A and B are shown apart, each in its own frame.
Chain A
Amino acid sequence: MNKDQAPVLICKDLCISYYTRAGEIPAVVDFSLTVKPGETIGIVGESGCGKSTVAMAIMRYMGANGGIKSGSITFKGRDLTQLSERELRSIRGAEIAMIYQEPFASLNPSLKIKTQLMEVPLAHENISKDEARQRAAQMLSDVNLPDPERMMESYPHQLSGGQQQRVVIAMGLLSNPSLLLLDEPTTALDVTVEAGIVKLVADISKKFGTSQIYISHNLGLILETCDRVFVMYSGEVVEEGTIDSLFTWPKHPYTHGLFACIPLPTADKNAAPLKPIRGQLPLPFERPRGCYYHPRCDHFKPGLCDLERFKMVHVEDSAADHRVRCLRYKEIDHRREVTGGEAKEAIDLGKRVLNVNGMKKYYEVRDSSLRALFAGKRIRQVKANEELNFTARKGETVAIVGESGCGKSTFAKVLMGLETGTAGEVRHNGKEISEVAVRDRSAKQISSLQMVFQNPFDTLNPSHSIGGQISRVIKKFGAETDKQKIFDRVMNLLDTVKLPRDFYFRKPRQLSGGQKQRIGIARAFAGNPSMVIADEPVSALDVSVAAAVTELLMDIQREHKTTLLFISHDLSVVRYLSDRIVVMYLGHIIERGTTEEIFAPPYHPYTEALLSAVPIADPEVTKREIVLEGNLPSAMKPPKGCPFCTRCHRRIGDICDNDLPPEQTVVDRHIIKCHIPLEELRRVLPVITVPDVSERLHVEQRE
């Protein structure tokens, strides 16, 4: 990185507005940014804060109703706001490239990878087809795709999500742009795949000298990829600085709030719970006077913060270029504050509520091709769940962790009675349920085992009112029959999930994502369940909202002593809230144990890779880097031996390929399914190293 070179991009006092029927909506206000050659800038913020709008404005691709109101965007000395459509076209794709969130939507499904890649240099440079082809193949190997020649001849659907995103990145880099915009490039991918892409993105500037703007809602990813970071709130930058400076000494109360919302390795659900930011992001046309954050700020001072708009100021006694938009940053002593919320009591664990014993779920897939007919193999089995064994006790939180396709959702379906198990047994409160479909279960059984769903926008029926939907559950479970009593119960449930009572009359479309998810929780707890399955309940929500919903879920659990089965791919959330963890891979439980046991050696190699893949937004936490090669094998053709053998970085030989590994017991209820002897696994170094509180940088500064 050469700091003396002229900046690639300068945005100065940029104001961007959308014009709708309701009038002008200022999306981004007073945005300034300088990108030096080879530098990676991170823009972080919650949804609706304007981070994607900035990217679109830099591309000058705002759609029909968006426009740059004032300010300038200077790219290599040319003001992009003044250029004509034709001049812009020569810059887009050639000098500024953009990579979007969903790789499968960025590639044309009917064209070969080759055609789509060669298009880029052919459109922007005057070169021959052969040369374009050569460069495309070279670029594919530069983004670490195996077998570039075969990739060139493939269609997008033949590649996995991670490979597709690599192709998209290759496409962006092909014309050797000076600036690469990445808009949440890994959100749609699995964690271990994400880790690979993040590593690639972090290497791009070294390899190609490309400047990058990386947009993400995930502070951990920003930490791993960027040099400088901009924190946005409600259309404006509230704090900017180098990664080290901002992550170690955040100055703005909002940045602090964000850090208190993410489950860092220091958070603990009982001793130091997450502390959600109160209130909601204001709508663009309802922004308050003065500091936009003041209604939610703990350090709000009337007569100062709510009067006028003010500029970003340079943080005093900070060596790095660290700027903040806060009038009181000097007075606020973040050190004296407890970072987390109030400490809470731990739940005493009770009797066993769930007992899973050798549960199997196979799906039959009918192959009607001629070849299958001749081979006599008409029916093939997909082994979604293979020999699951684990238990959960009253009041316990058990997390099932695994990437998509590991069979965790299938297991949830069997528990809920939407599918029936193939073999083995699942006992809930002593009763066998794996072979009982939901319509054969008694109302009591159904109400004692309920589910919170993943997608907040899908969990409520858009056609019925909130009250009607909750009432129906109460009526169905037979808890109450009297109309007035049902109504009172719904009101109590709304109180429990901390929503106003008049939500009874609202339709789901009038609610925000977090509010919908609260209703989903209220619905699941309507029949006083003894166990609730939560399938990634917060993965689609913004960090501050997710923290609030997570805390709410745990408060209700604490109150009702409910067993919570938490399904997730995010190990940082899981580490924070669960007592026991079950790690699944391709239908197998490959490791299970208490949270501490899972997070410390001995590890199963897959657990090790998963731990390494989780981005942690704390610069002082060190991680051992393990990036998995290859893709998750298809469940139709699982490996013969260990399910993980195709991607394992600790493979010991043919035994892995041919024999199913044994269950090795480390201590009671901590089990690892691996061929590697336990002594050897015990010698593995911890993946995540959290420094002692006394060794921490910001602690030293306090003295």
Chain B
Amino acid sequence: MPITTSTTEMPTAGYGAAFLRALKSFALLRESWVGMVGTFLILFWILVAVFAPWLAPFDPNASIQPFAKPGMEAAKISGTFWLGTDHIGRDILSRVIWGSRTVLIYAPLATLCAYTVGILMGLAAGYRGGWVDDVLSRIADIILSFPVLVLYIIIIATIGASGINIIIAITFASSPGIMRIVRGLTLDLRNRDYVAAAQTRGESDWRVMIVEILPNARGPLIVDACLRLGYVIITIGVLGFLGLGLPPPDPDWGGMVNETRQMAMAFPHMTIFPCIAISSLILGFNLLADGLREISLRD
């Protein structure tokens, strides 16, 4: 057969192509209205977080003095303070706006860490099997056998409350769950012929796991990541509520609920607005997960 000179161009592997592909996937999401609602909720909060300095009318940590006494008429919703002020006279709207930054920085970071650890453990356990699997699975079982809240309290109480420690606690508590998912997927995928093909050309174990297996497990993992982001947001809220979250005075939605809960009967607005903020963001992630699942089932 005559071999013609190469007429085909070399592939231009650029970020432009990757960006286009991402756009295309997003276009697919448009077919699921549930996913679209979720995306808009999340986008809304991301924009709020990004533009917080310009959106927030007041300094979130400043007590606006005349209103610092609980029970004052003006502490409730007014023209100046759209969502009212809290028990020490801080503007709730500003705190909710700034609080979105806390959540949107720590929740994805914590999820990312949990995923990194979980994926590596799951790949190793599922691909290697044998004693590696036994050891890793038993560790995961032990961690999962603790009630999550107890686990958080123990960890945070031991290592102290700070942003980094929240990430550590969440990674510790949720990576076993992720590991189980990855392990299950790996057990299935490692028997595929393309994995055997990679093995027979002498690829290293880690390359097989990360290049050959992991990309094919991405479907269920992406859906799970969206759901888990929601749970992590709840967790951060709960930690804040338990007083184990970020140390005051920086705004944190869970902390805001905690600080004002004793006054919730008299001044419901102090607790309700942070609560709405938390739920809407979680709802956003859950709906997005639903939408993604719907699309992935379609083809």
A residues contacting B by CB (< 8 A) are 416-418, 438-439, 441, 443, 446-447, 450-451, 453-455, 458-465, 467, 473, 476-477, 483-484, 487-488, 491-492, 495-496, 498, 501-502, 504-505, 520, 523
Contact = CB atoms under 8 A, between A and B. Distances in A.
A418 B199 contact: yes
Contacts of A473: 201
B6 interface: yes
B197 A504 contact: no
Given A416-B196, A487-B6, A496-B1, 16 more contacts: A446-B201, A451-B196, A451-B197, A459-B193, A459-B197, A460-B194, A462-B216, A464-B211, A465-B11, A476-B201, A476-B202, A487-B11, A495-B1, A502-B8, A504-B11, A505-B11
B197 A446 contact: no
A418 B211 CA distance: 19
Nearest to A439: B202
A209 B152 CA distance: 73
Contacts of A453: 193, 196-197
B3 interface: yes
A417 B200 contact: yes
Contact of B202 (A446, A495, A496): A446
Contacts of A447: 201
B11 A450 contact: no
Nearest to A450: B200
B10 interface: yes
15 contacts: A418-B196, A418-B199, A418-B200, A451-B200, A455-B193, A458-B193, A459-B197, A460-B194, A465-B11, A467-B11, A476-B203, A487-B11, A495-B1, A501-B7, A501-B8
B30 interface: no
A488 B8 CA distance: 9
B147 interface: no
A455 to B, nearest CB: 6
B200 A463 contact: no
A477 B6 contact: no
Contacts, number: 76
Interface residues of B, number: 25
A461 B212 contact: yes
Given A458-B192, A458-B194, A505-B11, A416 B200 contact: yes
A443 B202 contact: yes
Interface string B46-64: 0000000000000000000
Contacts of B66: none
Contacts of A465: 11
Interface string B175-203: 00000000000000000111011111111
A450 B10 CA distance: 27
B261 to A, nearest CB: 48
Contacts of A417: 200
Contact of A488 (B6, B193, B203, B204): B6
A505 B17 CA distance: 12
A441 B198 CA distance: 14
A527 B204 CA distance: 18
A482 to B, nearest CB: 12
Contacts of B249: none
Contacts of B218: 463
Nearest to B212: A461
Contact of A461 (B6, B194, B199): B194
Which A-B residue pairs are the 8 nearest by beta carbons?
Answer: A463-B215, A453-B193, A458-B193, A461-B194, A459-B193, A501-B8, A416-B200, A446-B202
A417 B3 CA distance: 34
B24 to A, nearest CB: 13
B52 to A, nearest CB: 38
A495 B4 CA distance: 9
B1 A441 contact: no
Contacts of B201: 446-447, 450, 473, 476-477
Contacts of A467: 11
A240 B3 CA distance: 44
Contact of B200 (A443, A446, A484, A491): A446
A439 B212 CA distance: 17
Contacts of B10: 483-484, 487
A109 to B, nearest CB: 20
Nearest to B7: A501
A483 B6 CA distance: 14
A501 B200 CA distance: 26
Contacts of A495: 1, 3-4
B22 to A, nearest CB: 15
A418 B198 CA distance: 11
A458 B216 CA distance: 12
Contacts of A463: 215-216, 218
Interface in B41-100: none
Most buried by B among A458, A492, A520: A458
A446 B7 CA distance: 31
Given A455-B193, A460-B194, A438 B200 contact: yes
Interface string B8-25: 101100000000000000
A230 to B, nearest CB: 33
Nearest to A465: B11
B3 A492 contact: yes
Most buried by A among B1, B11, B201: B201
A447 B201 CA distance: 7
Most buried by B among A439, A450, A455, A461: A461
B70 to A, nearest CB: 58
Nearest to B198: A461
A623 to B, nearest CB: 34
A454 B10 CA distance: 31
A404 to B, nearest CB: 16
A505 B202 CA distance: 25
Nearest to A457: B193
B202 A441 contact: yes
Contacts of A483: 10
Most buried by A among B194, B204, B215, B218: B194
Nearest to A484: B10
Contacts of A498: 1
A502 to B, nearest CB: 6
Contacts of A458: 192-194
Contacts of B193: 453-455, 458-459
Contacts of A461: 194, 198, 212, 215-216
Contacts of A459: 193-194, 197
B185 to A, nearest CB: 13
B187 to A, nearest CB: 15
Nearest to A509: B299
Most buried by A among B8, B10, B196: B8
A257 B215 CA distance: 41
Nearest to A21: B298
Contacts of B196: 416, 418, 451, 453
Contact of A491 (B1, B6, B197, B216): B6
Nearest to A415: B200
A417 to B, nearest CB: 7
A492 B6 CA distance: 9
A85 to B, nearest CB: 27
Contacts of A438: 199-200, 202
A644 to B, nearest CB: 30
B200 A464 contact: no
Contacts of B215: 461, 463-464
B167 to A, nearest CB: 29
Contacts of A446: 200-202
Nearest to A527: B201
A570 to B, nearest CB: 19
A526 to B, nearest CB: 9
B174 to A, nearest CB: 25
A450 B196 CA distance: 11
A507 to B, nearest CB: 11
B216 A523 contact: no
Contacts of A451: 196-197, 200
A447 to B, nearest CB: 8
A495 B7 CA distance: 12
